[in-house]
Structure 1
Amino acid sequence: MEQKLIPEVEREWSKISFKWRRLLPIKKDRPPSPIKFESDEKVLKELIERSNKIINEIIEKAKIKASGHAKLITTDKIVIDPRVRWKCQIPVCFGFGTSLNCPPHSPTTEQMREIVNSYKHAILISFYPPIKNHVFPSIFLGVQGDVNLLNQMVGMIEGEATYMGYYLAMGFKGGPCVGCGFFSPEYFKDLMQQKKIPLCPVLDNQMCRQYLRARPALEACGVDSFATAVKCGEKAPFVINPEHPEESVPFVVWHGIVLIV
């Protein structure tokens, strides 16, 4: 039986990612971009414009009351602190040891510092999701959806940077892996009901089911995303307790970082 190829513009993510569709023009309709080894002010400006378009369209597709933006930063403003990674273990986070993108399997603080020092410019993503998703009773499923959207933003922006010639672009996002397993919107309800859920296949020497989509957690690599954001001129965040009334929380923010060149 002849296999029918799905047009690229109609390809969708799995149900784990809420059937998200490709938002930008089909890559084959654009001319190839020459590989770039240095910063190009004009190209970086265009990349930021495209990044903001990606963020806005992902939010629009999700049909949620949220906002977000991307800004170009220098990597010397990225704050790396070993205490951040230790907070994954003290107290033990529910994501610890569950995927390749969380400790002890993710890049270490020392490795992350070496990676960041190899770049000069990066894109800082700030995503302000609905507050209700981070307090009771919606927090059990709302957070997973928001982290999933952030993951899409990071992946799309990294891909866009790569297409524009920055072939070593590398993306990281806040929060555990949402590709599959316990922190995905698909399985988290099962976890709450103490049902058996799939484990990260990579830890079982299998191929990642969300390859090219899954991204490491910033915290897992020792990046203090809040301190980094404030250093880059973003608003200082708040410590939120899920029991706080929704109206008492000023805002909720998640961050992602894409290293460019």
Structure 2
Amino acid sequence: MKSDKKLDKMDKISELVRFVVEKGGEATLIPAKDIVTAEWVRQKCLFGCNGFGRRFSCPPYTPTPAETRKVLKEYKTAILIKFVGDVGETTPERLVSREMTAYVQNVMYDLEMMAFSAGFYKTFGYTGHQCGLCAHCKAKDDDAEITDCVNRRKMRPSMEAAGIDVYATCASVGWGLEVLSCTEVAGGCVLDSPMTTVMLLLIE
């Protein structure tokens, strides 16, 4: 009986992985204990990203690394997901196209809903990029509260926004990530190599 239940669970997980592959990505299982969190990740958000405080999917609205560590202890398994390249046109003003942001965020939402429907009632996804669900995020307004978000049902933080070290986590499954470099051009900069988007689905 136990082996049948385990086989059924793996069949369901295989369906989730297949969905990601059909959407053009890669997916692999990872033990939740191998997901790496670090305090420096949030510090990078605070001092290295102009999105800090401008999206409800970004710090300071998202879980701290310590809070994320506590959550991860409640899971045994996760699916690590990777998309290489961009599905839309980028510009010097925007390194990642709006189309790519919408694409991966919709894939992640659909994947989480699939997992929930399959019986993984604790499932939770960490998406990629700053949230792009609204043209104007109310986080930019004065005295904003996360309850002001009009897309809370669908909005999820990225891995790094929740304090997850994406590089170290990917390394644990043999995925080597290179630090992206950019070339300055008129009006901004362009990436020197294809961007990789990494996301995570906790399943239990």
TM-score of the aligned structures, taking structure 2 as reference length: 0.81
1:149 to partner: Cα distance: 1.5
Counterpart-to-counterpart distance in 2, 1:210 and 1:132:
23
Q: What is the root-mean-square deviation in Å for CA atoms of aligned residues?
A: 2.8
Partner SS, residue 79 of structure 2: strand
Could you tell me which runs of 5 or more consecutive residues in structure 1 were left unpaired when the two chains were aligned.
Answer: 1-38, 58-66, 181-186, 188-196
| Higher strand fraction (1 or 2) | 2
Within the candidate set 74, 82, 104, 1:126 is matched to 82
Cα 1:70/1:204, change in 2 over 3 Å = same
Alignment-derived partner of residue 68 in structure 1: 25
Alignment-derived partner of residue 226 in structure 1: 167
Contact 2:83 2:198 in 1 (8 A): yes
Give the structure, 1 or 2, with the largest relative contact order (CA under 8 Å, sep 6 or more).
2
Alignment-derived partner of residue 30 in structure 1: none
Aligned pairs for 1:162-177 (under 5 A) are 162-177=116-131
Counterpart-to-counterpart distance in 2, 1:55 and 1:156:
13
The answer as to 2:9 corresponding to 1:53 is: no
- The amino acid across from 1:152 in the alignment is N
Contact 1:81 1:224 in 2 (8 A): yes
- The amino acid across from 2:100 in the alignment is D
- Superposed CA offset, 1:175-207 (max 9, x none): 222111xxxxxx4xxxxxxxxx45248935755
Could you tell me which runs of 5 or more consecutive residues in structure 2 were left unpaired when the two chains were aligned.
Answer: none
Alignment-derived partner of residue 260 in structure 1: 203
Alignment-derived partner of residue 117 in structure 1: 73
Contact 2:12 2:118 in 1 (8 A): no
Alignment-derived partner of residue 35 in structure 2: 78
- The amino acid across from 1:227 in the alignment is A
- The amino acid across from 1:199 in the alignment is K
Counterpart-to-counterpart distance in 1, 2:165 and 2:123:
20
Counterpart-to-counterpart distance in 2, 1:132 and 1:156:
20
Alignment-derived partner of residue 104 in structure 1: 60
Contact 2:127 2:156 in 1 (8 A): yes
- Superposed CA offset, 1:103-146 (max 9, x none): 11111111000001110000111011239856x53x62743322
Alignment-derived partner of residue 211 in structure 1: 152
Alignment-derived partner of residue 199 in structure 1: 138
Cα 1:94/1:173, change in 2 over 3 Å = same
Identity among equivalent positions (%) equals 26
Cα 1:142/1:120, change in 2 over 3 Å = same
TM-score of the aligned structures, taking structure 1 as reference length: 0.65
- The amino acid across from 1:69 in the alignment is E
Contact 2:95 2:190 in 1 (8 A): no
Cα 1:104/1:204, change in 2 over 3 Å = closer
Counterpart-to-counterpart distance in 1, 2:7 and 2:76:
13
Counterpart-to-counterpart distance in 2, 1:223 and 1:155:
19
Number of residue-to-residue matches in the alignment: 194
Alignment-derived partner of residue 143 in structure 1: 97
- Superposed CA offset, 1:191-239 (max 9, x none): xxxxxx4524893575532232110121121101122112112133332
Q: Which moved more, 1:81-90 or 1:226-235?
A: 226-235
- The amino acid across from 2:138 in the alignment is L
Partner SS, residue 182 of structure 2: coil
